[in-house]
Chains A and B, each alone.
Chain A
Amino acid sequence: MSSKDIELMAHLMRRAGFGATRDELEAYAAKGYEATVEELVDPEGHGISHVDSDNFYRHHPASENAGGNPTNGQAQWMYRLINTPRPLEEKMTLFWHHVFATGNAKVDHCAVVLEQISTFRKHGLGSFRDLLVMVSKDPAMIFWLDNNENHKHAPNENWGRELLELFSMGQGNYTEQDVKEASRAFTGWTIEPSLPRMPFQRYPWYFEYRPEDHDDGEKVFLGHRGRFNGEDIIDIIVRQPATARFISRHLYNFFVADEVQVPSWQDQAPRDPVAINRIAETLVTSGFDMRATMRMLLNSDFFKDESIWYAKVKSPAEIVAGTMRLVKDHQAPSPGIGEIGLEPGYQGQALLDPPSVEGWHTGKEWIDSGSLLRRINFVADRVGDTSLPGVRSIIDRLSNAEEMTAAEMVDACIDLIGPVRVTGDTRTEIITHVEKGGPVRRGAAEEEMAVFARRVGETLQLIASTREYQFG
């Protein structure tokens, strides 16, 4: 297989997952690109196992019924991000929580937010229409957008508004009257009262439909007239061309290349209108089947095009999970996963806790001086730890190679940590630094090997500190 095959596979795995080790990339490349995409979009059909959540909960029981403080809940999701053998399934989970942003800061019940995350995991590659219905009945979402306060005689328009503005069509494609009518249709969609959290810890929340609190009167919504209930509204929404375009733009921004932020979409044309049209067309012709849509997207020429490789700033979740997968840390339940789960938050993306219903702003907005330093230090600390299995694996690969110059070692490290594209002056500076340490020797003696391992670790740290490493 060529280095181009590996580089393309690395691109696929960064976007459709959280990166991959060299061993994994070689195994995927041997299977072939389309076969790998097929495995990614249909892990169940290919018999790919799940994360062993039983074993995680046995050791981290607080993560199974995580409370108000999100630490234990974030630990649970981070463990899955690090260990899932179904990377696209987990990436779609992150995608949908980015779209249907629901914050634990208000819900104050991590287990309920995690139940929503579990819905995204189970159904994120299924029907978008069905997912919208599930989200409409999701207790965390109902509480987050106050639909439990949306009553027959006292409507609350928060859910109805965001359903149209942020979850399906986007601004400019509906009227204020449509918001009011949609909200009326969702009256009576609420949450069953649950036992309080004390004295024996929290209890699950369940959706409850109260027909006596539902406004069953006639509504006029997007030109349609009828005594609509919530599911009727969703059926009308998914028939709108604006919905296909809106979801296409989300998919493009998340999986292909950074776009402007959502509020600008009504004013600014897409970066690649042809790609958006193709995604929208697939959504419509497949009946909003996300598996078919992702299959088309990942196999498309616009996705494989080199101009969009490394064109996305990695999100904090991608930085953290990708690094942990690369160095192979926390592959079994162990103390300290809570701190790793908190790390994306330190970098500006608190898992389970988006800043608002609009979700996180992406692209270059991930980066400020504080978050950049935090990102670099986090990665550098891990890739420089030569005791970690993934780092050892890189060292072992280099140890098996022929004698090498400083430039060859740097190039090999750039290749094995990604590959990433570190070229020009940046590459030259790293080489110069390595040369200052003297000739690269890999003697058989234990002491010489330890020095070699340390120098590899330092080189990996330098690469992780480059501007280029922040792109995926």
Chain B
Amino acid sequence: MQTISIRGRVYNYSHCVGRNAVSGAGFHYPNALARGDGDIVYVVNQPDELQPVPHITKVSVGGDWHEEEHICDFGKRGDGDGNFVWPSAIALDSQGRVFVADEWLNRVSIFDGDGSFLDKWGAAGAGRGQLNGPTGLAFDSEDNVYVTEINSHRVQKFTADGEYVTGWGGEGTDHGRFTQPWGVAVDSDDNVYVADWHNDRVEKFSGSGVFLSTIGHSGDDRGQIRRPSDVAVDKDGDVYVADWWNHKIEVYDPDGAHVTTFIGDAERLSKWAETVVESNPDAVKARLRVKSLEPEWRFTRPTGVDVGDDGRIMVVESQRMRIQIYQKEANWVEPQFNL
């Protein structure tokens, strides 16, 4: 289904971007993304044990099918300035500077929009203001950055220069506690949403850490989530949760009521993917002998979700090396039913 109309909302499938590639035009086990200006998107690529090639890909996703362009890659394996071991999260501040967290090196590296290294901060440790496995990054309206940590099971708030502001959490299942949290998001009122990965929920807090509500609960059906990897909030307050375990995106209204579910709709190949298939006659034939191409359309391990004020919802999938893009329509007119 390319158009979902439900509860006063309309979502249209836009297009997908990506293919499997260790560098250049494509992604490598991507686990996070962040929007730049316009169609610009930055994607975090994870290394693997055979090809340890952690890096950031800067792409223009275009506005429609086959408009994508690869702009540049930056970062490589290592512990020197601008290098990564396990890059885990990405966010842009109001100046367009790119912040990348590294879970293994316990630091946040800062780049300009073209990938030139600017600075870094973070000291390893479980103490206040130290980093212990950072896995999520999100800025508020005042350029404070929230950092989730898998090993200390907490969220900390820093200035963009890395000065500690506040923090909360600790391992547990009570409200305000986390078990191996992953992604984090901030809404237009500067409330904070944490993807509480191993507790199968999203928790919402004020910017100072006061618990406000829980979104989603454990399960495998529509509206339920298991191992949420990321969260995003649109300008209307609707919440998008990447259900890592069940390969779907769950959408909730501002009160936490379930709205709808995205399961992936990439019925066409991206430009880069099409190039690969068309260059291999055997691949073309192999695609014709399968019972269905549907497994290709569907999300597989969504690891990052982002939504902008333009209503574009972008989902990155670590096992399918691509971004799928939906559009939340502002002024939708239903077509004639009996057309």
Contacts and interface: CB of A to CB of B under 8 A. Distances in A.
A337 B19 CA distance: 26
Nearest to B28: A62
B286 interface: yes
A54 B85 contact: no
B321 A200 contact: yes
A55 B244 CA distance: 12
B20 interface: yes
Interface centre among A196, A336, A339 (most CB of B within 10 A): A196
Interface stretch (A68-76, A144-152, A369-377): A68-76
11 contacts: A61-B46, A61-B48, A62-B46, A62-B49, A63-B49, A71-B49, A195-B293, A199-B269, A200-B20, A200-B273, A203-B295
Interface string A436-457: 0000000000000000000000
A28 B250 CA distance: 46
Given A54-B227, A71-B50, A335-B86, A201 B20 contact: yes
B128 interface: no
Given A195-B290, A195-B296, A200 B46 contact: no
Contact of B48 (A55, A72, A200, A339): A72
B50 A62 contact: yes
Q: Which 5 A-B pairs have the closest CB atoms?
A: A338-B49, A62-B48, A199-B273, A199-B19, A199-B276
Given A59-B86, A195-B286, A335-B104, 18 more contacts: A54-B198, A55-B198, A58-B197, A59-B103, A61-B46, A63-B49, A193-B289, A195-B293, A196-B277, A198-B276, A199-B20, A200-B20, A200-B321, A201-B321, A203-B296, A335-B47, A335-B49, A338-B49
A195 B300 CA distance: 14
Interface string B119-150: 00000000000000000000000000000000
Nearest to A74: B49
Nearest to B54: A335
A54 B280 CA distance: 34
B320 interface: yes
A68 to B, nearest CB: 10
Nearest to A333: B86
Contact of B291 (A60, A69, A192, A339): A192
Interface in A323-344: 334-339, 341
A199 B18 CA distance: 9
B48 to A, nearest CB: 3
Interface of B: 18-20, 26, 29, 31, 46-50, 52, 85-86, 103-104, 180, 182, 197-198, 227, 229, 244-245, 269-270, 272-274, 276-277, 280, 282-283, 286-287, 289-291, 293, 295-296, 301, 303, 318-322
A2 interface: no
A63 B47 CA distance: 11
A144 B245 CA distance: 30
Contact of A201 (B86, B269, B277, B319): B319
Contacts of B321: 199-201
B50 A72 contact: yes
Contacts of B295: 195, 203
Nearest to B292: A195
A192 B280 CA distance: 21
Interface of A: 54-55, 58-65, 69, 71-72, 75, 192-196, 198-201, 203, 334-339, 341
Contacts of A335: 47, 49, 52, 85-86, 104
Nearest to A332: B151
Interface centre among B229, B293, B295 (most CB of A within 10 A): B295
Contact of A198 (B31, B48, B280): B280
Contacts of A337: 49
Interface centre among A69, A196, A200 (most CB of B within 10 A): A200
Nearest to B135: A58
Contacts of B291: 192-193
A71 B229 CA distance: 26
A58 B304 CA distance: 12
B171 to A, nearest CB: 14
A62 B29 contact: yes
Contacts of A58: 182, 197, 229, 244
A61 B52 contact: no
Interface centre among A69, A72, A198, A338 (most CB of B within 10 A): A198
Nearest to A76: B49
B19 A200 contact: yes
Contacts of B280: 196, 198
A200 B277 CA distance: 10
B156 to A, nearest CB: 20
B272 A199 contact: yes
A116 B31 CA distance: 28
A65 to B, nearest CB: 6
Nearest to A75: B49
Contacts of B103: 59
Contacts of B322: 200
B287 A195 contact: yes
A199 B282 CA distance: 13
B172 to A, nearest CB: 17
Given A200-B20, A203-B295, A61 B301 contact: yes
Given A72-B49, A338-B50, A65 B319 contact: yes
A196 B282 contact: yes
Contacts of A339: 49
Nearest to B282: A196
Given A54-B245, A195-B293, A199-B19, A69 B287 contact: no
